[in-house]
Amino acid sequence: MVQLSEELLQSLDEVAGARGVSRSKLIRDLVADGLRRASVDEVGERIAEGYRRFPQAQPDEWGSLEVGSDAATEDLLVRLDAEERATGQPRW
């Protein structure tokens, strides 16, 4: 059981009437929505905390992201160039 002020009850009744639902259904929906949002906020905060602990583009035990991505990009471009030449495509 939850105690609510007269003002809250009046607001609930107005919103419930506008939506065409009972006060109980409106309260259930609002509580469910609030809990869903709290869960989404918690996940977002966990993600943000991870980025605060391990900022992006900072070298870690795996090395520098920039160096790795540059090497991977260069490797990909070399392989694509070889594939295009093998099919007779002109060079850029």
Structural domain boundaries, residue 19:
1-53
Number of separate domains in the chain: 2
Do residues 4 and 12 lie in contact, with contact meaning Cβ atoms separated by under 8 Å?
Answer: yes
Measure Cα distances from 23 to 17, 47, 80 in Å: 8, 36, 63
Looking at the fold, whether 5 and 39 belong to one and the same domain comes out as: yes
pTM assigned to the model = 0.51
Q: Compute the distance between CA of residue 89 and CA of residue 81 in angstroms, rounded to an integer.
A: 9
Q: Are residues 16 and 36 located together in one domain of the fold?
A: yes
Q: How far apart are CA 68 and CA 60, in angstroms?
A: 12
66 and 49 within one domain = no
Q: What is the pLDDT of residues 12-63, one digit of tens each?
A: 999 999 999 999 999 999 999 999 999 999 999 999 999 898 877 666 666 6
Q: Per-residue pLDDT tens for 63-84? A: 666 666 777 788 888 899 999 9
